[in-house]
Amino acid sequence: MRIRIVDAFTDRPFAGNPAGVLLLDAFPDDTWLQNVAMEVNHAETAFAHRLPEGGEADWALRWFTPVAEVDMCGHATLATAHVLRATGAHEGPVRFATRSGVLIATPREDGSITLDFPTAPLTRVDVPDGVADALGALPGAVFDTGPHVGDLLLELADEKTVHALTPDHKALAAFSRRGIIATARAEDPARGYDFVSRCFFPNVGIDEDPVTGSAHTALAPFWSERLGRPALTGLQASARSGRVRVELRGDRTLLSGNAVTVIEGELHA
């Protein structure tokens, strides 16, 4: 079968977040799916198969890190929609049946793809004891992001603090189901982004995720309230870096970006 590596939330190779994508006839057993994801060894590998016509979704979609299946993944969904369009396997908007309900990906004339995801419910919580030491910075506010995202969102003092983080990944694992989203307001919005973030997910085998679509379903309501606008652009300041355009629409968040196929080959396992 064909396997592809796609860089998502970028318009150039070797940036954004890489994801493995496999289009299947049906889902094999979970052990095989997990082994393929471990072999690919990117933050996520997406597996999709076509569903019968007339249902609420067009394709079934699952996401695996090298060590676990996850409830939601933005960049691997974007990568899958990109592959469906590039190969002609699906034209127009595609509805994915996932653990997080039906997610819609809509291709745009400019080459980008817009994802329609549920907005993460934010609940302010006390700053957990020890989180500042584990992260390497003192958060000003901390929010739980709900069951599907499964992170703690931490607001930091400024963009420079986010860039300078060198966290203790093992210690961070104690504070949430998946990991930590660290964020701050952009120092200079003239650079083309409104806020900056970094994401650390030790509990699913990812010390730092390059660009995280699911995290932006929490970042969108967080920064929309503070900046007074529903449409914003976030910079995820990982080593690979990437930008996510977000638009808050109540209980739904639109995430937009580009994707590039970097590798295509045969899987023989």
Which residues are part of the catalytic machinery?
44
Residue 112, CA distances (Å) to 9, 18, 26, 77, 233 in order: 9, 16, 28, 13, 14
Q: For CA atoms 120, 126, 130, 131, give the dihedral sign.
A: positive
Q: What are phi and psi of 37, to 5 degrees?
A: -60, -35
49: part of which helix (H) or strand (E)? Answer: strand 44-50
Instruction: Locate all alpha helices (DSSP H) within 7-57, ordered by sequence.
Output: 30-40
| CA-to-CA separations, 219 to 12, 25, 233, in angstroms, rounded | 24, 35, 10
